[in-house]
Structure 1
Amino acid sequence: MLRYTGNRLQQSVVLLFLASVVCFTLVVSSPGNVAVLIAELRGMIGSPGYVEQIEQEIGLNKPLLIRYADWLGNVIQGDFGISYRTGHDVNADIMNRITVTGMLVAGGAVVATVASLVLGFIGAFWPGGITDRAVRGFALVGASTPTFFVGALVIFMFAVILNLVPAVGFNGLKSWILPWITVAVLPAAVLSRVVRVGLEEAMASPYVLTAKSKGLSRFRIMFRDALPNITPIYINALGTQIGLMTAAAIIVEPLFAWQGMGDYFLNGVRFRDFMVVQACLLLFLTFFIVVNLVVDLTVMATDPRIRRQRSGA
């Protein structure tokens, strides 16, 4: 277990390095001159020598490898630089916004987890019935519907027609309900199928037949014996969906007029604020890598079969 953990940590460090290379390369290879853009934003585009002065200030006249090394060194120290558009410290902007995105993803993950377990369990408890078909229908529709359409639909239904919750902005706990539902629909649909199929396979296992011969109820067998056996598969799928929910925040936050990391990233792209784009991309990729690391270690800890395979290897 310790050896596997060490190997996964080394792989994660390598992936983080590659992620930094990708972020830097994508930004520096974009068309246009950053110095000209900054001069335009400051209203100094017509000043002689001003563009060259900006290039020297932000190091655009240095070789790419030196620019990358300088940027990476600052990032390792927690310094993401200064926004080209606003002149604000990117670190401060991120700290003001990351909590919003974190709460959105965390709340959506909780909603998706609870909904998927309940729906998947109900479908497997009455296989082939109306309830099971309804759960399958929800999974099909939920997994096929774009996130922005789900957001527009729940806003129209619950905020406009029923007037139960606010549509945009922050106004207490009610403001989180619609964004959580929006970001959780697709993951809940996918995960409910994971639970449903996993329980169906588990209920055909020999240990389930043994439990039935002892006179145990179907509910007890599913909850005590079958459900724990699909935990590793479910954790793997949940980790993937949490990563996708982070990407979905780019769509959900502007939809509800929230100022989180997704909105910050979109503004950076819109105004070609490359320091912001680099920081957001790197943070998103880092989150994906960390989530995958945690998922792998959790699956390793919860599944003795995988531990035995790793030990044998």
Structure 2
Amino acid sequence: MFTYLRRRLRNSALLLLMASVLCFGLVVAAPGNVAQLIAELRFPGASKAMVDQVAQELGLNDPVPVRYWHWLQGVVQGDFGVAYITGEDVGEAIRNRIPTTMKLILGGSIVTIVLSAAMGLIGAAWPGRFPDHIVRVLALLGASTPVFFGGAVLILIFAVNLRWLPSFGDSSILSWILPSIAMAAPSAAVLSRVLRIGISEAMTRPYALTARAKGFPVLHIMLRDALPNAVPAYVSALGNMIGSMTIGAIIVEPLFALHGIGELFVSGVRTRDFMVMQACLLTFVLYVSLVNLVADLLMIAADPKLRRQVA
């Protein structure tokens, strides 16, 4: 187990290094003159001399490998640089916004687990019947509805028309209900089908058929025998879904006026602030790597076969 964990940590470190190269390269390769944009924001109608001065101050005239090395040295020490546009410390800005994004992802994860488990168990308990058909339709709608559209519909119904819940800010726990549901809906739809299929396959195995022949209730067999065998695949898919919630955060946070890392990234893209964009992208990659590592460890803990393979 420790050998597996050490190997995974090594691979995660290599992945982060490669991701840092890609993040820096993609941002640097973006078209446009950053120095001119920043100079015009600072000094409207800036001359070429002012543009050259800004480029010199920001080190934009240095070769790309030198710029990357300087940036990477700062990142290792927790220094992501200074935002080009606002002059704010990027590392501090991310640290201040992490709690908001983590609350959103935590709320989305809880709603995802509850909804997917309920829908998957309902569909597996009544296969081919009316509840299964209803759950299948809901899963199809949830998986095919874009996050921004689902969030807008939730705001229109529950905040504008019914006025049950707030639609922006994080003033109370009620403020997190609509964003969490908007974040969780696509993931819960997909995971419900994963759980439903896993339980249905497990119910056709010899141990389940033997238990039914002995007269055990179907619900008892499903929960005691079939569900544990469907959990590893569910946990693996859940890890991927929670990891991909960073994409949902980029959409949900501006939609509900939540000041998290996703909203910071959107602001950086809008103003072409490369330092902010690079830091946010690398933070997302780090988060996904950690979530996938935890999901793999939980999957190993839930599956005896995998435990024997990594022992």
CA contact (8 A) 1:36 1:45 kept: no
Which residue pairs with 2:97 in the alignment?
97
Measured at CA, do residues 44 and 159 of structure 1 come closer, stay the same or move farther in structure 2, by a change above 3 Å?
closer
Deviation at 1:219, TM superposition (A): 1.7
| TM-score between both structures, scaled by the size of structure 1 | 0.95
Instruction: Measure the CA separation in 2 of the matches of 1:46 and 1:81.
Output: 24
Q: Deviations over 1:149-194 (max 9, x none)?
A: 1111111111112111112223311111110110111011001101
CA contact (8 A) 1:123 1:131 kept: yes
Which residue pairs with 1:289 in the alignment?
289
Instruction: Measure the CA separation in 2 of the matches of 1:18 and 1:296.
Output: 21
Q: Deviations over 1:200-251 (max 9, x none)?
A: 0011111112222333222221111111111110011101111222111111
Which residue pairs with 1:253 in the alignment?
253
Is 1:67 aligned to residue 67 of structure 2?
yes
- Look up the equivalent residue of 1:277 and give its one-letter code: M
- Look up the equivalent residue of 1:39 and give its one-letter code: A
RMSD, aligned CA: 1.5
| TM-score between both structures, scaled by the size of structure 2 | 0.96
Is 1:301 aligned to residue 301 of structure 2?
yes
Q: Deviations over 1:47-84 (max 9, x none)?
A: 56332322222222222111111100100100011111
Which residue pairs with 1:176 in the alignment?
176
CA contact (8 A) 1:44 1:50 kept: no
Which residue pairs with 1:2 in the alignment?
2
Which residue pairs with 2:209 in the alignment?
209
Measured at CA, do residues 213 and 272 of structure 1 come closer, stay the same or move farther in structure 2, by a change above 3 Å?
same
Structure 2: runs of 5 or more not aligned: none
CA contact (8 A) 1:45 1:51 kept: no
Instruction: Measure the CA separation in 2 of the matches of 1:60 and 1:274.
Output: 11
Structure 1, 182-191 or 85-94: larger mean CA deviation? 85-94
Alignment of 1:142-153 (within 5 A): 142-153=142-153
- Look up the equivalent residue of 1:19 and give its one-letter code: A
Q: Secondary structure at the match of 2:244?
A: helix
Q: Secondary structure at the match of 1:49?
A: helix
Q: Secondary structure at the match of 2:175?
A: helix
Alignment of 1:1-313 (within 5 A): 1-43=1-43, 46-47=46-47, 49-310=49-310
Structure 1 runs, 4 residues or longer, greater than 6 Å off: none
Structure 1, 182-191 or 296-305: larger mean CA deviation? 296-305
Q: Secondary structure at the match of 1:61?
A: coil
CA contact (8 A) 1:85 1:273 kept: yes
Deviation at 1:46, TM superposition (A): 2.9
Structure 1: runs of 5 or more not aligned: none
Instruction: Measure the CA separation in 2 of the matches of 1:83 and 1:111.
Output: 35
- Look up the equivalent residue of 1:298 and give its one-letter code: L
Measured at CA, do residues 82 and 45 of structure 1 come closer, stay the same or move farther in structure 2, by a change above 3 Å?
farther
Q: Deviations over 1:122-146 (max 9, x none)?
A: 1111111110100111111110111
Aligned length, in residue pairs: 311
- Look up the equivalent residue of 1:28 and give its one-letter code: V
Instruction: Measure the CA separation in 1 of the matches of 2:304 and 2:166.
Output: 47
Q: Deviations over 1:95-123 (max 9, x none)?
A: 22121111111110110101111111011
